[in-house]
Amino acid sequence: MFEALLLATLAALSLLAVGHVLLNKRDPRAAFGWVVVCCVLPGLGAACYWLLGINRIRTRARDWHAQLHRNGAAEAGFCSWSLRQGRSIAFSKEGYGALVSLADAVTRRPLLPGNRVVALHNGEQAFPAMLKAISEARESVYLASYIFDSDATGRDFVEALKTAAERGLDVRVLVDGLGERYSLPVVRRLFKDSAVAFARFLPPSLSGRGLHFNLRNHRKLLIIDGRRGFTGGMNIGDRHLAATASRCQALDIHFGIEGPVVGQMLEAFMEDWHFATGEVPPPIDYPLPLPGGSAFCRGVSAGPNEDFEKLRWIVLGAIGCACHRLRIMTPYFIPDRTLVAALNAAALRGVTVEIVLPAKNNLPYVAWASQAYFSELIEHGCRIYYQPPPFVHSKLLLVDDQYALVGSANLDPRSLRLNFEFNLEIFDRTLISDLTEHFDAVSTAAREITQEELDSLPLAIRLRDSFAKLFSPYL
């Protein structure tokens, strides 16, 4: 009797798991695999599925995002977008109209004219500009960073932010709860007893939120008076100083922005601030287009709380628009099958596809997994380069001489699926020309990877790379 009851219970659990698989798994290969496991191992297979097969990352992120809006953020008025405004822009009538329409649909934000965007190379250019903007602020300073080190550069920012708060400005600092632990003492201690409002995004906790290595806030945002902004790939710390010899040195490009798109940057910050603190943000007053501002820009806030994988779709759309050249620079490159197919298809269409990666990566296992994809890309005409040290953290996607996608996201599953990121779409021939010149200078000095070189790698190296590739979805 007991054995019959146990078998019936195990069978019921397996059927329940199979039903959940069939309704929720979009990849038929993954669905088939879990169905087989649940049927072959009654009970045990279902337990494995409930523990390992359900994407709790996305489920939890969407639950928290829904709670944010139930608590009043949706009524705060900081998502004042208009699809009609984006589609009315003349640029959408050009060859990139399909990309503009795609981004309209998945971001629910308009492409805004009248912006001015300046590239700032490394901390030597970016940090003085950011500190100067903080010192000139009149109303508010909002800073979000994944890493905020407590080194010399970090302390310069701490003092600048404290001084701004002492002048009576609204100063808020948001640091990722895991990223803040990259240096000791943690930076929040330096703000203790100051007028700066400090918050952490998903800090380690024994509560229901717990400790998550995913769901990190990887965004880098500085907004001054709601009128000026800075974003890109740089965290706050000495590591981004090109002239400083450091074991953790990471060279990068940041961007200074003025114009209406700063309002979209502020939206992203306020949504994160509300999530971290529960405070309902006020309505956002968008800046007017700048006279002579030549850049059409759109802010792309992406994360696992979204219905669409925004960045992934926009990257695929941008690759599909390429007619002549596609340039990619990223520190972490782990493409999924769809991205590999899109890059190869572009190369086969006659587009010059160039990918620049760091020769020495600060995460070796990511570099191993990345190298396992090279043969398939090179075989179809993509060109891959290794940029010599120091480690370069820059993230650029340039399409022909028209379009750039820049910001905090890498081309890996962590950025495209697991973390919260902020990127900018930019249509500006002058800026794209400058970034293209930089890319070409870098690729000229870099070493191109050949199929012969890959074929000559020792068997142990190829096995290592292929083994690391198995973990690509989690790297």
pTM, two decimals, is 0.86
Enumerate residue ranges in the chain where pLDDT < 70.
1-4, 6-8, 10-11, 17-18, 21-35, 38, 45-46, 48-95, 205-214, 245, 305-308
Nearest to 402 by CA among 432, 423, 437: 432
pLDDT at site 43: 72
pLDDT at site 151: 93
Q: Which fold has domain 310-474?
A: Endonuclease; Chain A (3.30.870)
pLDDT at site 55: 54
pLDDT digits (tens, 9 = 90+) for 43-64: 776 676 666 556 544 555 455 4
- Please tell me if the domain spanning 60-91+118-293 has the same topology as the one spanning 310-474: yes
pLDDT at site 303: 80
CB-based contact 290:114 (threshold 8 Å): yes
Query: How big is the CA angle at 165 (ends 160 and 167), to the nearest 5 degrees?
Result: 100
pLDDT at site 415: 86
pLDDT at site 30: 60
Q: Give the CATH number of domain 60-91+118-293.
A: 3.30.870.10
pLDDT at site 269: 95
pLDDT digits (tens, 9 = 90+) for 83-103: 454 455 555 556 678 888 888
pLDDT at site 203: 85
pLDDT at site 473: 77
pLDDT at site 165: 97
Rounded CA-CA distance 21/33 in Å is 10
HEC string for 317-363: HHHHHCCCEEEEECCCECCCHHHHHHHHHHHHCCCEEEEEEECCCCC
Query: How big is the CA angle at 121 (ends 115 and 127), to the nearest 5 degrees?
Result: 85
Domain spans of the chain, in order of start: 2-54, 60-91+118-293, 310-474
